[in-house]
Amino acid sequence: MGRSVRDSLVVGKRNLIRMMRIPEVVIFGLIQPIMFVVLFTYVFGGSITIPGAPSGDAQAYHEFLMAGIFAQTVTFATAGAGAGIADDMHKGLIDRFRSLPMSRGAVLTGRTLADLVQTALTLVVLAIVALLIGWQTHESALSVLAGFGLLLLLGYAFSWIGAVIGLSVRTPEAATSGGLIWLFPLTFISNAFVPVNGMPTVLQHIAEWNPFSATVAAARDLFGNTIADAPKSVTGAWPMEHPVLASVIWSLLIIAVFRTLAVRRYRSATA
């Protein structure tokens, strides 16, 4: 176990150094979420009514929106994780790692840890932008940090999905496309950007059992960005009634399943 942890940290350091030497990857990764914040805030902010808030209350929508943007940012990093692993496979770097006396799972764990560090830095910048446009938290600093911790846990879980995709395709371009195509319905059929009560009944059930929605709702609770009189759930879904616990369960379950699949796929791909 100690050797596996050490090998994972070495590979993670390698990936962080690589990211620092290609700063445009980090910069472009910051531009997209900032654009989403600005566009959703100023284009849709005055036209979407949050249950329990006065009609057209832009501040209420700002606070409603930010947890969704944060969650979208950490999950969209999945495409980058998959593309990076596919690129390493395509260039034969994985074969070089195979020749070294190191843990097999360390290659994937190190990559996902490096992506987690990059995602955390992106969240810091995004939070600063959100504060500048009027976003506020209404809970203690510890509670706010716990909210960001759940967001990073979700991002780490989804990076393992990206690892499976990256190991299953032949080119980095295919990994990027495969990593994004399923994220759009996952993030938009959720409570991230609009209230669930305006959706058709079938989509309401899907949205409230969506792992992404559980983390968004948990972050809103921990940030204090909820409306006191608004119901937590439209359909009575358990994850919406207990979002913090549901978020942790969903993320750990995703990690357990997809890490196992990724390591198994890695071993078969390099056998």
The per-residue DSSP string of 165-185 comes to HHHHSSSHHHHHHHHHHTHHH
Query: CA separation (Å) from 121 to 13, 30, 83?
Result: 15, 9, 20
Highest mean pLDDT among 11-15, 113-117, 141-145: 141-145
Instruction: Give, as one character, the DSSP assignment of residue 60.
Output: H
Q: What is the pLDDT of residue 246?
A: 97
Angle between helices 106-132 and 23-39 (to 10 degrees): 40
**How high does pLDDT run on average in the chain?**
86
Amino acid (1-letter code) at residue 60: A
Over residues 25-41, the pLDDT tens digits come to 777 777 878 888 888 77
Q: What is the pLDDT of residue 89?
A: 76
**Token pair for 61:** 């929508």
Domain boundaries along the sequence of the chain = 2-269
pLDDT band at 49 (very low <50, low <70, confident <90, very high): confident
CA distance 172 to 81: 10
User: Measuring CA to CA, which residue among 244, 246, 241 is closest to residue 222?
Assistant: 244
User: Measuring CA to CA, which residue among 133, 159, 150, 131 is closest to residue 213?
Assistant: 150
Residues in the chain: 271
CA distance 39 to 159: 26
CA distance 132 to 268: 48
Q: What is the pLDDT of residue 56?
A: 62
Secondary structure of residue 155 in the 3-state scheme: helix
CA distance 218 to 239: 9
Scanning the chain, the segments in alpha helix (DSSP H) are 2-21, 23-39, 58-90, 93-98, 106-132, 141-168, 172-181, 183-188, 201-208, 211-223, 238-241, 243-269
% the chain with pLDDT above 70? 96
For range 153-176, the mean pLDDT? 88
**Token pair for 106:** 């360390």
* Spacing of C-alpha 150 from chain mean position: 10
CA distance 192 to 141: 23
pLDDT band at 218 (very low <50, low <70, confident <90, very high): very high
Between 188 and 96, name the one with better pLDDT.
188
Between 168 and 220, name the one with better pLDDT.
220
**Token pair for 69:** 């943007």
Between 49 and 148, name the one with better pLDDT.
148
User: Measuring CA to CA, which residue among 172, 231, 190, 207 is closest to residue 70?
Assistant: 190
Q: Which residues contact 143 (CB under 8 A, 6 or more apart)?
A: 222, 223, 224
195 CB neighbour count, 10 Å cutoff: 18
Give the range among 56-60, 103-107, 255-259 with minimum mean pLDDT: 56-60
